Amino acid sequence: MTATIARDQAVTTPARKSGGRINRRSPLARVITYGLLLLFLIIVLMPAYVLVVTSLKSGREIGVNGQWNLPQEWTFASWEKAWTSLRPSFIRTFELAIPVAAISSLLGAANGFVLSRWRFPGADVVFTLILFGMFIPYQAVMIPLRSIVHEIGLPPGIPTLVFVHCVYGIPICTLIFRNYYATTVPVELIEASRVDGAGMLRTFGSVILPLSAPGFVVTVIWQFTSSWNDYLFAIFMSNTRNGPITIALNALAGAQSPDYAASMAGALIASLPTLLVYIVLGRWFIGGLMAGSVKS
């Protein structure tokens, strides 16, 4: 009988915070919260609205109808023009972003494993030197970097950009994987693989890599979007004939008489792959980013 009464009281009594306060917000607080969220959403979506609306207008209508009004005559001519101009560079950018994301993530995982769980003398110094590459401004090394690439003999365009982005992606990927392995992978797992006779490479390939999916999600998204949206390296290491989509998009915009509708359509086309990457992998991105933040 006592247990039944206690259960009924637990069901009917509202949840309370410490101090006896009811854990419910007032209607006014909810209205203010949702109102602010709606305001921020409108501010964020305003540029996207202008992009879409302008891309669906004809060239002569943009100057007459304004940028905020809906098109009087809906047309996809600007999308066709933009796609025709950007298609070669669009394909080349995939040839850049996919290898960069895969190679730099794999190298970062290997470095992070060695620096976190397979210690050696001077490991902290090596890790500090690797991280030092994150804080060097790209503009400061652009001219020496071009000289190094020329001495190596890499052809201009996508091969050079793959090399450069992989090199500059290793520090951030190493940092992410080192923190992930140091706080997530148990030391006992590494010791058990050593007892079974597995060396460093066998342990990394058979034990560590299957557990590294959260870290790979973070680094792949980071490197894919960074290389896809890059303009500084692209303008120095390539041109409109062999460069990525950012160079072609700049050429599409023009200088003397820009086609705003085609430029807006081209910007939307160029942003679609990164948007899809975040839509597909976004729900794992935060989880992977936070996986190495708290020691289990």
Of the CA atoms within 13 Å of residue 149, those in its CB half-sphere come to 23
Give CA–CA dist 253/116, Å, rounded.
Answer: 47
In the predicted model, is pLDDT for residue 136 greater than 90?
no
Most confidently predicted of 9-23, 131-145, 154-168, 189-203 = 154-168
11-23: average pLDDT: 46
Give CA–CA dist 142/120, Å, rounded.
Answer: 33
Percent of the chain with pLDDT over 70: 85
Pick the more confident residue, 254 or 231: 231
Q: Quote the tokens at residue 3.
A: 């247990």
Query: Considering the chain, what is the average pLDDT of its residues?
Result: 83
58-69: average pLDDT: 72
CATH topology classification for 77-291: MetI-like fold (1.10.3720)
Residue intervals of the chain classified under CATH 1.10.3720.10 are 77-291
> Sorting pLDDT into bands at 50, 70 and 90, what band is 260?
confident
